[in-house]
Chains A and B, each alone.
Chain A
Amino acid sequence: DQQVKQNSPSLSVQEGRISILNCDYTNSMFDYFLWYKKYPAEGPTFLISISSIKDKNEDGRFTVFLNKSAKHLSLHIVPSQPGDSAVYFCAASTNSGYALNFGKGTSLLVTP
């Protein structure tokens, strides 16, 4: 039972434009959400996170938005750069939980 869902397997965006990656979750007990970035042949690396008490967190070109009522979060990358091309995983955890629950990932391709 997939509790974290990324329904878009892939996304292609032109350099300089905005990339929007979406994530939905089903477990209302999740209270912390993270985005990880993964390049081929490497482990996932932490990108940005958001607590359920916030609805937005920004770090440079990356912004994560959380809509708790819709159980939906999104990652915005502005402006997109070719180096952003990677697989992006959405993950969620509960405050008392032991592990991160991951989505299947979205492969982002930023074209020049």
Chain B
Amino acid sequence: NAGVTQTPKFRILKIGQSMTLQCAQDMNHNYMYWYRQDPGMGLKLIYYSVGAGITDKGEVPNGYNVSRSTTEDFPLRLELAAPSQTSVYFCASRKNTEAFFGQGTRLTVV
């Protein structure tokens, strides 16, 4: 059972570089999310999607972009990486009330 798969697990970026964090789910869930977790903090919602072709901003969307061309995939794009984007990023999918999370991507911007 793959569930929610995130790649890569770790990444170091230089300031100003760009990258895409990949997320895929095989549970046919309509709802997908990107959260970030900073040390000592809870999970903050970056972007979410309620289905293919539909995305919307969460609590902390600045500096990020998303797309949802298929039900399975929900990539998160960082343009012009900044040190403030150093964090652990979690992708999740949801059907009904319970959300399932990926293992996370630890991103460091130096």
Contact = CB atoms under 8 A, between A and B. Distances in A.
Interface residues of A, number: 24
A32 B31 CA distance: 17
Interface in A50-94: 89, 91, 93
Interface of A is mostly: loop
A93 B48 CA distance: 14
B99 A100 contact: yes
A102 interface: yes
Interface of B is mostly: strand
Interface stretch (B12-20, B37-45, B62-70, B72-80): B37-45
B50 A43 contact: no
7 contacts: A2-B42, A6-B42, A34-B98, A43-B92, A98-B31, A102-B42, A104-B40
